């Protein structure tokens, strides 16, 4: 059967080609991807709540072409919540307006996975019940290693950044191995700070850490400076930017995940995690964001 309608928490969701292989290197099927999002749904939905979702889709699997989808696609189900919002809210030039979807529950996760949306990317701001874009509620620091640097170097830099954040009063930072090459650090922001202020703070933090540790860290994207060092990418705090959502799959060779971690793990020998490992850890150890 090429298609069927599932009852997902009382909502009809059409799924197709459940036996299609989305990760050729591991033979991971669409059915397995849907099973993953079902198992991690409470933790993933907490990260997606009230954030519009940009989808990176691999309809024919990671061995084929991908495309980025921001707007609600034609044929989306009537129950899918969406709003027309500026592409860069809060900026002097807010850019074009986009019709952006929200994944509010398990039906939305299953719908997205069925369409090959392996990666779910979200901004650092949320949208209120009346459609108003709120100030960012988190600061994100992206740690991107330049080979031969890798996760070990990212782990060292993660501790340096977290110490500086804590000294500035930003506690509760959660490290996330990206499922790709590097890491992200998420720090909750108290109060209401405009995106411009948050971005400037992130830039100054990156610049200061790079100045203190020039042998390990860079704060500019110039490729000639990056080999063997970790780039602290502060630009993810621009309101037009999105970041891979914690607990989202990645469209890589294997089904790795942007995986929240505990701080006592962040050290030598750190590795990226697969979806099976994340499901097991979430069941046994809980959610670091909780």
pLDDT in tens, 222-279: 888 889 999 999 999 999 999 999 999 999 999 999 999 999 999 999 999 999 999 9
Token pair of 104 as six digits: 């509010």
This prediction's pTM: 0.96
pLDDT in tens, 114-140: 999 999 999 999 999 999 999 999 999
Residue 80: predicted pLDDT: 98
CATH 3.30.70.3300 intervals, the chain: 138-237
Of 143, 180, 190, give the one whose Cα is nearest residue 162: 143
Pairing of strands 138-145, 256-257: unpaired
Q: Cα angle at 7 between 46 and 280, to 5 degrees?
A: 45
- Residue 4: partners with Cβ closer than 8 Å, 6 or more residues away: 14, 15, 16
Of 264, 261, 122, 249, nearest to 185 by C-alpha is 261
User: What pLDDT, in 10s, does the model give residues 80-105?
Assistant: 999 999 999 988 788 899 999 999 99
Tokens for 184, please give them.
Answer: 């992200």
Farthest CA pair distance, the chain: 60
Distance of CA 61 to the CA centre of its chain: 19
Q: What pLDDT is attached to residue 191?
A: 87
CATH number for the segment(s) 138-237: 3.30.70.3300
For the domain 3-133, what is the CATH superfamily, name and number? DNA primase, PRIM domain (3.90.920.10)
For residue range 23-65, list pLDDT tens digits in order. 999 999 999 999 999 999 999 999 999 999 999 999 999 999 9
Where along the chain do the CATH 3.90.920.10 domains lie?
Answer: 3-133
Helix (H, G, I), strand (E, B) or coil at 206: helix
Mean pLDDT of the chain, nearest integer: 96
The pLDDT, as a whole number, for residue 222 is 83
Q: Is the pLDDT confidence value at 1 over 60?
A: no
Taken as a whole, the chain contains a residue count of: 290
Q: Is residue 143 classed as helix, strand or coil in its secondary structure? A: strand
pLDDT at 2: 67
CB half-sphere exposure, 175, CA atoms < 13 A: 25
Proportion of the chain above pLDDT 90, given as a percent: 94
């Amino acid at each position: 059967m090429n298609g069927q309608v599932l009852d997902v928490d009382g909502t009809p969701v059409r799924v197709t080609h459940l036996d299609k292989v989305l990760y050729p290197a591991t033979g991971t099927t669409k059915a397995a991807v849907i099973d993953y999002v079902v198992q991690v749904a409470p933790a993933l939905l907490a990260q997606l709540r009230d954030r519009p979702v940009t989808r990176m889709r691999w309809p024919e699997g990671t061995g084929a072409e991908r495309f980025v989808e921001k707007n609600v696609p034609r044929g989306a189900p009537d129950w899918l919540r969406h709003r027309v919002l500026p592409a860069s809210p809060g900026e002097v030039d807010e850019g074009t307006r986009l019709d952006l979807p929200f994944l509010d529950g398990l039906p939305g996760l299953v719908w997205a996975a069925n369409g090959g949306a392996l990666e779910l990317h979200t901004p650092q701001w949320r949208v209120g019940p009346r459609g108003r874009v709120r100030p960012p509620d988190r600061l994100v620091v992206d740690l991107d290693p330049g080979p031969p640097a890798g996760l070990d170097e990212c782990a060292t830099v993660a501790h340096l950044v977290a110490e500086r954040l804590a000294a500035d009063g930003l506690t509760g930072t959660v490290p996330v191995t990206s499922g790709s090459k590097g890491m992200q650090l998420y720090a909750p922001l108290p109060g209401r700070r405009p995106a411009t202020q948050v971005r400037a703070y992130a830039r100054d933090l990156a610049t200061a850490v790079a100045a203190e540790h020039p042998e390990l860290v860079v704060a500019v994207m110039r490729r000639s400076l990056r080999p063997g060092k970790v780039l602290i990418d502060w630009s993810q705090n621009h309101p037009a930017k999105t970041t891979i959502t914690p607990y989202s799959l990645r469209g890589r060779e294997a089904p790795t995940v942007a995986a929240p971690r505990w701080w006592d793990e962040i050290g030598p020998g750190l590795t990226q995690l697969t979806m099976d490992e994340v499901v097991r850890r979430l069941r046994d150890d809980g959610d670091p964001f909780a």
